[in-house]
Amino acid sequence: MCWNGPSSLSYVSAYRNVTPPTTVVNDNQHDIAQHKLSTSSLSQFPRATDVVCARGRQFFNHPGNKRYRVLINSAIKRYASACNKMEKTLVVLDIIEKVHKSNGRFIKREKKGGPWVEADEIFAREKCTQSLRDGLSTKYRSATKAKRERRWQHDKQFHGDLDMIVRSNAFVVQQMETFAQRVSLLNTNRPPVSDELVLEFFTQANVKLLETMKNDPSMHQQFQEAARSADTGADYVRDDMDLSQSMGDDEDMYLWEEILNHSSNTQKQPEQNQTVPTVIEMY
Average pLDDT over residues 66-83: 93
pLDDT of residue 63: 93
Predicted confidence (pLDDT) at residue 193 exceeds the cutoff of 90: no
44 touches 97 (CB < 8 A): no
Give residue 107's pLDDT: 94
Which DSSP symbol is given to 111? S
**pLDDT reported for residue 162:** 76
Segment 214-218 mean pLDDT: 77
Q: How confident is the model at residue 264 (pLDDT cuts 50, 70, 90)?
A: very low
Q: Is 261 left (phi over 0), alpha (psi -120 to 50) or beta?
A: alpha
Q: How far apart are CA 96 and CA 68, in angstroms?
A: 9
CA 131 to CA 73: how far, in whole Å? 9
Threshold 0.75, pTM exceeds: no
User: Residue 106 belongs to what H/E stretch?
Assistant: strand 106-109
Evaluate if residue 260 carries a pLDDT over 60: no
Q: What is the pLDDT of residue 27?
A: 45
Of the segments 12-16, 55-59, 62-66, which one has the largest average pLDDT value? 62-66
Q: Does residue 15 carry a pLDDT above 60?
A: no
Dihedral of CA 42/44/50/54: which sign?
A: positive
For residue 156, pLDDT beyond 80: no
Question: What pLDDT score was predicted for residue 35?
Answer: 42
Name the H helices within 39-81. Answer: 57-60, 63-81
Confidence label for 244 from pLDDT (cuts 50, 70 and 90): very low
Q: Which pLDDT score, from 0 to 100, does residue 201 have?
A: 76
Contacts from 202-208 at CB under 8 Å and sequence distance 24+? 202/276, 202/279, 205/175, 205/176, 205/179, 205/280, 206/257, 206/260, 208/175
Percent of the chain with pLDDT over 70: 61
Could you give the C-alpha distances from 166 to 105, 150, 279, in angstroms and in order? Answer: 68, 24, 16
Sequence letter at residue 265: N
Virtual CA dihedral for 94, 99, 100, 106, nearest 10 degrees?
-110
